[in-house]
Amino acid sequence: MSKAKPGTSNPSARIRARKDWWRKGFFDPSFYTPADTSHVAAAPAEVRGLLRLLKLRRGASILDLCCGPGRHSLLLAEKGFQVTGLDYSPSYIRQARDKARRAGLEARFTRGDMKELRFHGEFDAVLNLFTSFGYFDRWSDNLKTLQGAARALKPGGLFLMDVMNGDWLRKHFSRRSWALQDRGVYLLEDRELAAGGRRIKTRWIRIPPGGRAMERSFSLWLMDRKLLTRALRGAGLTPLRFFGSLRGDPLSNERNRLVVLASSER
């Protein structure tokens, strides 16, 4: 297959992400899953890295915010942590519960809206991994997510976020790309920067072998150290350290990840 095969899309057209796009089938396993082969294979090293950064005692309580099908939550439960996973996708929550039951693991998985968290002082740590932040059109809704995470923490609890590094993306911006994924599926991406480089709008076109192309568009706020510092402080969280990976590499605009460790101010 060549890069030009999916001629059904118009790459020059302006990308229009539907409002509340995350509710409209994007996070459905038939279109996208964070539990594909490569992501599952990377999860053990990611968990080892984040635990080195958090330095939690065994048995500590952890909220995995936007847990997906539970690839990190289940590994943390295996290590003896009290894990709660929350995600908006009912399909992902069902998968996580099924995997926990088959593995005999005690982990709680619940469906919920990340900007409407109802936890209060329950967790030693809250995790938000794999660029699971910045979905909402209104910046105030993104702040509500951070405020909810801060409320969910015990006094002095830790918040760990892992997102795409906006400084890296702006420096290395590419308008289009394609990649071969699991089971012979091709993913083609069209991208455009918006709001003066503060947001990115993306069109994904997935083409399975012999199947029908599926298309979704979405929009994200791009995080950098300055913006994230201001947002965390406004939510009652104190940034402690920034990294360029869950391994603890130094943050720079040559690394595509932005990881922040923060603490609750209460």
Chain centroid, CA 167 distance in Å: 17
Residue 28: which H helix or E strand, with range? Answer: none
Per-residue tokens: 197: 């480089």
- Please say whether the beta carbons of 77 and 140 come within 8 A: no
**pLDDT digit string (tens) for 150-191?**
999 999 999 999 999 999 999 999 999 998 887 788 989 999
Which pLDDT does position 197 carry in this prediction?
Answer: 96
Query: What CATH number does the domain located at 37-165+223-264 have?
Result: 3.40.50.150
Closest to 248 measured CA to CA, from 160, 166, 134: 160
Which pLDDT does position 31 carry in this prediction?
Answer: 67
Which pLDDT does position 255 carry in this prediction?
Answer: 98
Question: Which residues make up the CATH 3.40.50.150 domain(s) of the chain?
Answer: 37-165+223-264
- Please say whether the beta carbons of 203 and 170 come within 8 A: no
The pTM of this model reads: 0.89
The CATH class for the domain spanning 21-27+168-220 reads mainly beta
**pLDDT digit string (tens) for 48-73?**
999 999 999 999 999 999 999 999 99
**pLDDT digit string (tens) for 213-229?**
989 888 999 999 999 99
Q: What are phi and psi of 87, to 5 degrees?
A: -150, 155
Per-residue tokens: 229: 């510092």
Which pLDDT does position 212 carry in this prediction?
Answer: 87
- Please say whether the beta carbons of 205 and 226 come within 8 A: no
Per-residue tokens: 55: 């330095």
Which pLDDT does position 181 carry in this prediction?
Answer: 81
Residue 167: which H helix or E strand, with range? Answer: helix 166-171
In the block, tokens 């590994």 appear at 75
Which pLDDT does position 254 carry in this prediction?
Answer: 96
- Please say whether the beta carbons of 24 and 18 come within 8 A: yes
Which pLDDT does position 13 carry in this prediction?
Answer: 54
| DSSP string of 30-74, one letter each residue | TT--TTSHHHHHHHHHHHHHHHHHH-PPTT-EEEEET-TT-HHHH
Closest to 152 measured CA to CA, from 237, 259, 261: 237
On the question of pLDDT at 20 being above 70, the answer is: no
Which pLDDT does position 25 carry in this prediction?
Answer: 53
b/e for 201-235, b at 16 or more Cβ within 10 A? bebbbbbeeeeeebebbbbbbbbbbebbbebbeeb
What are the CB-based long-range contacts (under 8 Å, 24+) for 197-201? 197/166, 197/170, 197/222, 198/166, 198/222, 198/227, 200/169, 201/15, 201/16, 201/17
Distance CA 128, CA 160 (A): 6
**Residues in contact with 250: Cβ distance below 8 Å, sequence separation at least 6, in sequence order:** 243, 244
- What's the mean per-residue pLDDT of the chain? 90
Confidence of residue 37 (pLDDT cuts 50, 70, 90): confident
